[in-house]
A and B are shown apart, each in its own frame.
Chain A
Amino acid sequence: MRQVRALGRCVLRSWLALAAWTSGACVVLAVLLLPLGLGLAILPGTAAWLRSLTDRARRWAAPVAEPEPLNPDRTASRRSQAGAIIGAESFWRDLLWANLEPGIGGLLVAVPQCLVAYGLFGTLVQPLIWRRVDDGNWYAFIPVTSTPAMLTAAALGLAFIAAGLWATAPVLRLHARWTRLLLAAPRSTALTRRVEHLTGTRADAIDAQAAELGRIERDLHDGAQARLIALGMTLDHATRLLDTDLDTARALLLDVRETSSRALADLRDLVHGIHPPVLADRGLTDALRSLALDSFLDVDVTAEPIGRLPAPVESAAYFAVSEALANATKHSGARTVAIAVTHDGHRLHITVTDDGRGGATIDGGTGLSGVVRRLGTFDGTLALHSPPGGPTTVTMEIPCASSSPKTSSS
């Protein structure tokens, strides 16, 4: 069945090669007509058509590094649009593909199709016609003039079909390599894009860190620090009263104990907000279980034993889930939430699904845009699927290695 599907893919690639040939011819025509001015009118359209075909070829041969969009400014004058297209390295790459693909790629994917077609002819058609056709009825190297010869031909046909089906997988692999060779954006394009991405995420990370430090400074200033000052003042007052008014002094000292315990509580909350202790102790899975126990909803955590991940990843993942859970609690009207954690050796994968009313958006003041930026620092992604009426699923992926064999204890 898998091979039959692969054969279907070969057929689709043949059609694509045909379309490529047609489209390539139109583009060549457009380029040749440029001096007459007519080319200016048809070049953007035909080039976009060709690009849609190469995009499809790239999708089929994925992963292939994608080039820049061909003609980003559709409102510019025709002359400048055509100039942008002619000046784009990727346009000439597309054109080269359109000219070579019908010959080389098309021939390649034709091999299994021909084998299967000829095999079908041998097994299904020969038994019906060999009696009616006289001399010269050959199937491959067999003169089909008798029943045994016909049966041999049918068997040979089956062998051809099998060979054709078997050939689909290697042919498709080869075809994908050929497509990548022709259509992958050059390394410089990929690197340029990577640099842009890294510059953006680095700025995000620096901003986030500065905001975090500011928050910690404010919390310390308004919380523990202020309480410690009050504590010092009360102690001073109590000391002065020790000789004269023992009862008031005792009351003040009890007050001091109360204040010190509140200062401790402030510090505890602050530490929890920076890096939850259970995350440091036990790693992501148990930290999420702890989060689930604190939640007002019914939260179910299922996790593979993922071991310990790099600390920044654990932290980012924890706060991302925490944010998703907070959204489910505040906005969705959900009753139950399921958190699933898996790691495939290269990527941490987390889904948070609630049974609420849905309709959530990343930009809708949910705090998820901050999470997207934070995950971006790790090349991580966040996808939100929240149709009206629910359910809402937040999917997060962070590339990272699982660093230690220490499994989560339960």
Chain B
Amino acid sequence: MRVVLAEDLFLLRDGLVRTLREHGCEVTPVDNGPALHRALIGDPPDIAVVDVRLPPTFTDEGLQAALAARRAHPGLPVLVLSQYVDQLYAQELLGGGEGAIGYLLKDRVTDTAQFIDAVRRVAAGATVMDPHVIAKLLARGDARGTIGALTPRERDVLELMAEGRSNAAIAATLHVSESAVAKHTAGIFTKLGIGVSDDDNRRVLAVLAYLRR
């Protein structure tokens, strides 16, 4: 798998390059916005792992480069890493509705297995949202009463579903059977009035769109 990695902090870049290479990725590291732009526009990789803040402006250079690359190559897998997550950026990343998007806090790279899993899933076209983004959306849903009809267990399933987990992964996390998860998801979709979709990616997008209302 060919990965373009944009990260300006040397220590973090070095660590991420090593981790990705250990897992069989071919990594092209870049450390600033313009270089990232060139790397993504010319010969798009299998996935771009991008820090939001990059030189020279240290604002949202990395995010802008990633969004521009996705406009040029729709569906180009991008995993955005950031010191903080913001609902506005999440909305912009999800905006195209093509999937193959990840948005994670930088803290998550400390769990290598989960990080590599996220890279693989995004590269395969899935949507991966940081639990922090989802927790905020769910808190909003609670306050607005849009998810009040769900049982606690269904709420747990909804949370993991919104993060982009597959039924198998949800079952493993909650220590229940996959068929139980399928039952819960069916219950959630009925109660919230979301159209059921077998496509995992479309399912995530529908759930996120519902929570954003």
Q: Chain A: residues with CB nearer than 8 A to chain B?
A: 257, 260-261, 264-265, 268, 271-272, 277-278, 280-282, 286, 289-290, 293-296, 409
CB of B107 within 8 A of CB of A278, answer no
- Please pick, from A261, A271, A280, the residue contacting B59 in the complex, using a CB distance under 8 A: A280
> Nearest Cβ in chain B — how far from A366, in angstroms?
20
Question: Which chain A residues border B111 with CB–CB below 8 Å?
Answer: 257
CB of A277 within 8 A of CB of B140, answer no
CB of A281 within 8 A of CB of B136, answer no
CB of A281 within 8 A of CB of B53, answer yes
- CB interface residues, B 48-103, toward A, < 8 Å: 52-53, 59-60, 64, 83-84, 86-89, 91
CB of A257 within 8 A of CB of B110, answer yes
Residue of chain A at shortest CB distance from B139: A296
CB of A268 within 8 A of CB of B84, answer yes
Complex Cα spacing A280 to B110, Å: 26
Question: Which chain A residues border B11 with CB–CB below 8 Å?
Answer: none
- Please pick, from A257, A277, A296, the residue contacting B86 in the complex, using a CB distance under 8 A: A277
CB of B88 within 8 A of CB of A268, answer no
Complex Cα spacing A307 to B136, Å: 29
Number of A-B residue pairs, CB cutoff 8 Å, is 46
CB pairs A–B below 8 angstroms (29 shown): A257-B110, A257-B111, A260-B107, A260-B110, A261-B107, A264-B105, A264-B107, A265-B107, A268-B83, A268-B84, A271-B84, A277-B53, A277-B83, A277-B84, A277-B86, A278-B86, A278-B89, A281-B52, A281-B59, A286-B88, A290-B87, A293-B87, A293-B88, A293-B91, A294-B136, A295-B140, A296-B140, A296-B144, A409-B64
Residue of chain B at shortest CB distance from A282: B60
Sort chain B's interface into a size bin.
Answer: 20 to 34
Name which of A261, A281, A295 has the most chain B CB atoms within 10 A of its CB.
A281
Given contacts A264-B107, A278-B86, A289-B88, contact A296 B143 (CB under 8 A): yes
Q: Chain B: residues with CB nearer than 8 A to chain A?
A: 52-53, 59-60, 64, 83-84, 86-89, 91, 105, 107, 110-111, 136, 140, 143-144, 212
Residue of chain A at shortest CB distance from B213: A298
Question: Which chain A residues border B140 with CB–CB below 8 Å?
Answer: 294-296
Question: Which chain A residues border B83 with CB–CB below 8 Å?
Answer: 268, 271, 277
> Nearest Cβ in chain A — how far from B83, in angstroms?
7
Residue of chain A at shortest CB distance from B63: A281
Residue of chain A at shortest CB distance from B89: A278
Complex Cα spacing A282 to B60, Å: 7
Question: Which chain B residues border A260 with CB–CB below 8 Å?
Answer: 107, 110
- Please pick, from A257, A268, A271, A294, the residue contacting B87 in the complex, using a CB distance under 8 A: A294
Complex Cα spacing A277 to B62, Å: 14
CB of B144 within 8 A of CB of A272, answer no
Question: Which chain A residues border B59 with CB–CB below 8 Å?
Answer: 280-282
Complex Cα spacing A15 to B212, Å: 62
Residue of chain B at shortest CB distance from A295: B140
Complex Cα spacing A265 to B136, Å: 14
Question: Which chain A residues border B107 with CB–CB below 8 Å?
Answer: 260-261, 264-265
CB of A290 within 8 A of CB of B64, answer no
> Nearest Cβ in chain B — how far from A139, in angstroms?
74
Question: Which chain B residues border A264 with CB–CB below 8 Å?
Answer: 105, 107
Question: Which chain A residues border B91 with CB–CB below 8 Å?
Answer: 293
